[in-house]
Structure 1
Amino acid sequence: MNPPGISSSPLLNPTALPLRSVSTIAGSALVVAPHPDDETLGCGGAIALLRASGYSVHILVISDGTLSHPRSLKYPAPRLQALREAETLAALSVLGVSPTEATFLRLKDGSVPADVSNGFQAAITHCLACLNTRMPNTLFLPWRADPHPDHRATWQIVRAAVDNLTYSPRILEYPIWDWDLKQQGELANFEQVVGWRLDIEAVLETKQQAIAAYRSQTTNLIDDDPDGFQLTPEMLANFARPWEMYLENVQ
């Protein structure tokens, strides 16, 4: 039985959390990704399991992902945006998701609007339209206190959109940069949530194949930006486990 809340980070000892099957999340889903690849890193197993069970899954990507290699001459922002969207569609295909089930909002990477900043209301409107069209049973969001500001802003945008819905989808939050415990800082408040793990062992290889589709983020494909971003082996190891961790509000 889950404790009423988690006073310290469940990421410190995730294997202590209960392990659940796909039946726990049965139903249609909308997965919201701050950047192209977050949906696969954080929820690739859930996506593959839901699709294998016949449930519809839609992916909403918030930012354009162009800040990963800002100094590349080979891949200026428009070309990099196109590449990252193509990688997303390739990854989703591996997971069983059709290209028609992906929406790209294309907000500026690194500047996803938060709270009352410029563009915040417009982003809410776009997300609300997607939610009203899809009406998912479950909504997957980045963890509200993720160290990356785009992740936190994405959570704020979608939560504000949810407040305008006529129904209440189940909301599950997935960690990305919190797996790097050095980045957690003082933002995380785990007392408001309970955590559990989804068993994805049956689709773990599929998830790894989908992650590999993001060559711009996992290889030296873009080799002319010495300060360009690349997921480290240590970071990728967090998403190579036979389970995914999810957090949801204490009921």
Structure 2
Amino acid sequence: MTVLCVGAHPDDEVLGVGGTLARHAADGETVSVLLLSDGEMARHETETEAARERREERRREARAAGEVLGVESVRILDYWGNQLDDVALIDVVRDVERAIADVEPTTIYTHYSGDLNVDHQLVARAVRTAARPVADTTVDRILSFETPSSTELAIPTENNPFQPSTFVDITETMEAKMEAIDVYESEMRDRPHPRSPDSLRANARLWGDRSGFRAAEPFEVVLDRRR
């Protein structure tokens, strides 16, 4: 199996699917990560020297977190965080298509399309478009993950609850996930907050309790065309 995780910002890949990526890597499978943005410029009005330094720091953090998880490659594009709605969707789709052509994944993990964060929504749409089931695609599965502090905060409608139907046992890789989370220390929060280390551990235990594992990550199936 070859795995591609497509996220909007550094730390999304660890928050949502870090334990699962580590499990794929531990099983000897090839894992790559594509992040559309370093996520920093949403916090700055202009690209100052301080902003550029922080952007580079976020990129280093993403690569270091990938090393912890056993990821083969981490690619970070130059979109400005939380502003993908100012970009033509086709441009994002083409970037995802290029990553798919390079990696030739059989499984893609990406954001849940109903998240509060607009970048998460648009990344999910771009992945679904880029990995549509055509005859020569390598992609057999697309799974969407939750992002704590975004998925559960979405404006509720009858059509957008996150309803996972498949779960990955991350009992053996939970500590790798938490070690990767530690790399993003500046993005973490104290309790009570969904992105606190305590909350992330509790969330993994909760999904594990709901799926019969000690710790788990949940996913919605967007596409499954395995023979």
Contact 1:51/1:97 (<8 A) preserved: yes
In the superposition, the TM-score normalised over structure 2's length comes to 0.80
2:187 alignment partner AA: Q
1:213 and 2:183 correspond = yes
Residue by residue over 1:18-61, the C-alpha shift from the partner in whole angstroms, topping out at 9 and shown as x without a partner, is xxxxxxxxx21000111111001111101111111100000000
Cα distance in 1 for residues equivalent to 2:64 and 2:40: 18
1:205 alignment partner AA: E
- Closer, same or farther: CA 134–187 of 1 in aligned 2, 3 Å: farther
In the TM superposition, residue 146 of structure 1 has moved relative to its aligned partner by: 0.8
Give % identity: 25
- Closer, same or farther: CA 217–68 of 1 in aligned 2, 3 Å: farther
Cα distance in 1 for residues equivalent to 2:223 and 2:23: 25
- Closer, same or farther: CA 231–63 of 1 in aligned 2, 3 Å: farther
Q: CA RMSD in A?
A: 2.8
Which residue does the alignment assign to 1:195? 165
1:61 and 2:28 correspond = no
- Closer, same or farther: CA 204–39 of 1 in aligned 2, 3 Å: same
Cα distance in 2 for residues equivalent to 1:156 and 1:76: 32
What is the total number of aligned residue pairs between the two structures?
208
Contact 1:91/1:210 (<8 A) preserved: yes
- Choose between structure 1 and 2 for higher RCO, CA contacts under 8 A separated by at least 6 residues: 1
Which residue does the alignment assign to 2:193? 234
The 4+ residue runs of structure 1 with deviation greater than 4 A are 71-75, 177-180, 230-233
The gaps in structure 1 that reach 5 residues or longer are: 1-26, 219-229
In the superposition, the TM-score normalised over structure 1's length comes to 0.73
1:234 alignment partner AA: H
- Indicate which of 59, 63, 67 corresponds to 1:89: 63
The gaps in structure 2 that reach 5 residues or longer are: 205-214
Cα distance in 1 for residues equivalent to 2:34 and 2:101: 13
Which residue does the alignment assign to 1:141? 110
Cα distance in 2 for residues equivalent to 1:171 and 1:110: 23
- Indicate which of 17, 38, 46 corresponds to 2:12: 38
Which residue does the alignment assign to 1:15? none
